Amino acid sequence: KFVTIYIDLPFVGTIPKDQITCDFQTSSFDLIVKNLEQKSYRLVKTNLEKDIDPLKSKFIVKSDKIVIKLAKIQSEYGSFDHWSKLTDEKKGVKSSSTKKKSDDPTAGLMDMMKEMYDSGDDKMKKVIGETMMKQRRGELGQDSGFGDL
């Protein structure tokens, strides 16, 4: 029914409860702790992997930690979805990338290349970077290795 997140914050239970707030939205939450030993803390998570029920979600303040309970939404078959991770970057990107695809037919390919570059290792980044430089200089395709076909 809940996805539970534990945040260790020593002495958080000693400050007044009104100094701690958590704003729950359908796909995000924003935890703010004010004036804990002259410091303020904030934890914001957007693009949660699945939607949550903001009205049933809650947070509990313990002596040395805060427990956030994100209420899962029940599926149409009566069960609750399994979460494998807290946030999903692709969930937030989908809506913006669909707009780009309709405006520019190469946007999908560019998004894929950017994702490969961002998630690739150093060797992958080097290969993609060299290819982009050759493309800009007009050198790409000149030495295709096919001879005079």
| pLDDT per residue as tens digits for the range 1-15 | 899 999 999 999 999
Q: What is the mean pLDDT of residues 135-139?
A: 76
Q: What is the mean pLDDT of residues 18-34?
A: 93
d(CA 101, CA 99): 5
Asked if 60 and 17 count as a contact pair (C-beta separation under 8 A), the reply is no
pLDDT over 50 (residue 101): no
Q: What is the mean pLDDT of residues 136-144?
A: 68
Residues 54-86 as b or e (16 or more Cβ within 10 Å = b): eeebebebeeeebebbbbbeeeeeeeeeeeeee
Rg of the chain over Cα atoms, rounded to whole angstroms, equals: 23
Q: What is the mean pLDDT of residues 67-78?
A: 86
